Amino acid sequence: SQQGEEDPQALSIQEGENATMNCSYKTSINNLQWYRQNSGRGLVHLILIRSNEREKHSGRLRVTLDTSKKSSSLLITASRAADTASYFCATDRGGGFKTIFGAGTRLFVKA
Amino acid sequence: DARVTQTPRDKVTEMGQEVTMRCQPILGHNTVFWYRQTMMQGLELLAYFRNRAPLDDSGMPKDRFSAEMPDATLATLKIQPSEPRDSAVYFCASSAEPGNTEAFFGQGTRLTVV
């Protein structure tokens, strides 16, 4: 079974708006990562947050992690049409070498 | 420009045929993952290797799938015999320090079994 579950499954917003995606996981983790996938292409790493971190920023991305709730959120501010993609969270299942992905959120940004 | 290279990009084959997918991980990365992506199942971890040794292939159907790393620059995923339900995009990814750093993905092999 997959470790992470993203919510919502799909999100449609206007350019300039903020997009928030959530991820919940089941077991303890050391790290949580967010990836992006453009249609038909490989995944690209966006950001990694460690279990002892609560918030991390990278450009227009802001990731939060709440280990007590086993959840994370990815916020994309001032979205652009080019942000249209699927976004996945991935976890390491408590320190193992496995990187397990959730089902993803499909984001569509309308110009 | 370091990248993970997968070949072929697309493969159409008839049911029952053998399929071999190849992956060249980024030089220096010691962990290699194989994932399968379908609309229904999403991204499934099939197998992963660390320092060329298979650590976990529990996600892989053992009767028809096999994964190997003949050397540090080549990982292979083989399906024999192939079935229509194997149709998917297969991704290889490599990582320098799995769990602590990012995984770099190849562009995938789109497999269609007819």
- The token pair at A20 is 């928030």
In this complex, do B95 and A99 lie within 8 Å of one another by their Cβ atoms? Answer: yes
Q: Round the average pLDDT of chain B to a whole number and report it.
A: 93
Which among B48, B104, B110 is the nearest to A97, CB-wise? Answer: B48
Residue with tokens 């990836």: A35
Q: Are A47 and A58 in contact (CB under 8 A)?
A: yes
* CA-angle at A50, arms to A59 and B106, nearest 5°: 70
Q: Are B14 and B100 in contact (CB under 8 A)?
A: no
- The answer to whether residue B34 neighbours chain A at the CB level (below 8 Å) is no
Residue A108 pairs in a beta bridge with A12
Provide the residue type at B13 as one letter: T
**How far is C-alpha A95 from the chain's CA centre?**
19
The reported pLDDT for the residue numbered A1 is 41
Which among A31, A40, A44 is the nearest to B100, CB-wise? Answer: A31
Confidence of residue A95 (pLDDT cuts 50, 70, 90): low
The reported pLDDT for the residue numbered A2 is 47
Decide which of B91 and B62 is more confident: B91
Q: How far apart are CA A8 and CA A11, in angstroms?
A: 7
Residues of A in contact with B40 (CB under 8 A): none
Decide which of B58 and A14 is more confident: A14
Confidence of residue B59 (pLDDT cuts 50, 70, 90): confident
The reported pLDDT for the residue numbered A60 is 97
In A12-43, which positions are buried (b, 16+ CB within 10 angstroms) versus exposed (e)? ebeeeeebbbebbbeeebebbbbbbbeeeebb
Please compute the mean of the pLDDT values over residues A71-95 and round it to a whole number. 92
Q: B76-99: per-residue pLDDT in tens?
A: 999 999 999 999 999 999 998 766
- Give burial (CB, 10 Å; 0-12/13-18/19+) of A56: middle
Taking the CA of residue B83 and the nearest CA in chain A, the distance in Å comes to: 22
Residue of chain B minimizing CA distance to A92: B99
Instruction: Give the CA radius of gyration of chain A.
Output: 13
Please compute the mean of the pLDDT values over residues B69-79 and round it to a whole number. 96
- The answer to whether residue A104 neighbours chain B at the CB level (below 8 Å) is yes
Q: Is the pLDDT of residue A10 over 60?
A: yes
**How far is C-alpha A30 from the chain's CA centre?**
16
The reported pLDDT for the residue numbered B101 is 76
Residue with tokens 């999100």: A11
Q: A21-78: per-residue pLDDT in tens?
A: 999 998 888 889 999 999 878 899 999 999 999 999 999 999 999 999 999 999 999 9
Q: B6-54: per-residue pLDDT in tens?
A: 999 999 999 999 999 999 999 999 999 999 999 888 899 999 899 999 8
Taking the CA of residue B15 and the nearest CA in chain A, the distance in Å comes to: 23
